[in-house]
A = this chain, B = another copy of it.
Amino acid sequence: MTGHIARIRTTRLIVGGRDITVTAAFVSLIVLLVAVAALTSDTFLTQTNLTNLLKQMVTTGLLAFGMLVVILTGGIDLSVGSMVAFSGILTAGLVTGLPIPVAMIIGVLSGVGFGLINGVLVSRFGLAAFVVTLASLTTIRGLAFVYSEVPIAPEDPAFFTLGSAMAGPIPVSTLIMLAVFAAGGVFLTRTPAGRSIVAIGGNAETVRLAGINVPRHVTLAYTISGACAGLAGVILASRVGIAQPSVGVAFELDAIAACVIGGASLAGGRGSTRATFGGVLVLVLINNLLNLYGVQSFWQQVLKGLIIIAVILVQRTNRVRG
């Protein structure tokens, strides 16, 4: 809030392709969480639990990456949860008539389409991202229910493959999410489009005068977010084995939290894929730990909020010192 902090903060960025936001303190924090978990719970290091962890991070991870891209432009995408629901129910509805991969691709494309619309409204019409995506959150959720009020459970067991297949000890869905992060990291740090997106969040006018098409890149960012949400929706439906139009409420909040825990600035221009991935890890670890300790559900919520505040306090202290 204060200018002082703001000024110092801006010195931490994706710098010339090197990602320096993943501070030592942040890494230590994650290591600490893992160490505490491993030492205090017999279950934590079991194969089952680790696989669990890997599976749990898929949805939040995919959404967080898409959210990061949007946040970098200085925007926000509140509609991802609804897109998850829509893409899932659409895919499940289509598998009766279409080959599964085709249905799944159409599911992802529905996210791409919604993202495109969000992006155009924000960039070409100059509307505030918060309200545009809030409105599309409502509209897309409504459309999911209009498409099917009741959940759809495809019969064909092949529908479950994407969500439940394992590549050795690692779920295929986790690998997909990791691949998105890896490709996303390269995109944001090494391609002109990625750098433009980061730059737009820093100062859109400067970028425009550098001859870069700002609206197109902003639209691209929302489209990427939509694609990630579409993919997350398909994977989720496949994992659960049934698609519900009501799924995904408040998913956007976890995605945003992951970005910010990873040090992204909601004003745009600052944030990194690695640190966002760290943010996803922190969130998933918190949930897992509270579960393993058998903390009662409502107290879990109380603690989760407090831990998130503690984590960003640690993050911030470190940043100001650095």
Contact = CB atoms under 8 A, between A and B. Distances in A.
Interface residues of A, number: 63
Contacts of A91: none
Interface stretch (A46-54, A122-130, A167-175): A122-130
A261 interface: yes
B298 A146 contact: yes
Interface string A250-264: 000100110011000
A89 interface: no
A302 B215 CA distance: 26
Contacts of A198: none
A158 interface: no
A16 interface: no
A299 to B, nearest CB: 6
B298 A5 contact: no
B125 A316 contact: yes
Contacts of A6: 204-205
A2 B217 CA distance: 12
A197 interface: no
Contacts of A74: 1
B305 A1 contact: no
Nearest to A298: B145
Contact of A127 (B299, B303, B309): B309
Interface string A276-309: 0000000000000000000001111111111011
Nearest to A320: B126
Given A132-B309, A146-B298, A309-B121, A1 B75 contact: yes
Contacts of A303: 139, 142
A298 B143 CA distance: 7
A315 to B, nearest CB: 9
A98 interface: no
Interface of A: 1-3, 5-6, 73-75, 78, 121-123, 125-132, 134-143, 145-146, 149, 204-205, 208, 214-215, 218, 253, 256-257, 260-261, 265-267, 297-306, 308-309, 312-313, 316, 320
The 3 closest A-B pairs by CB, nearest first: A139-B305, A142-B301, A3-B205
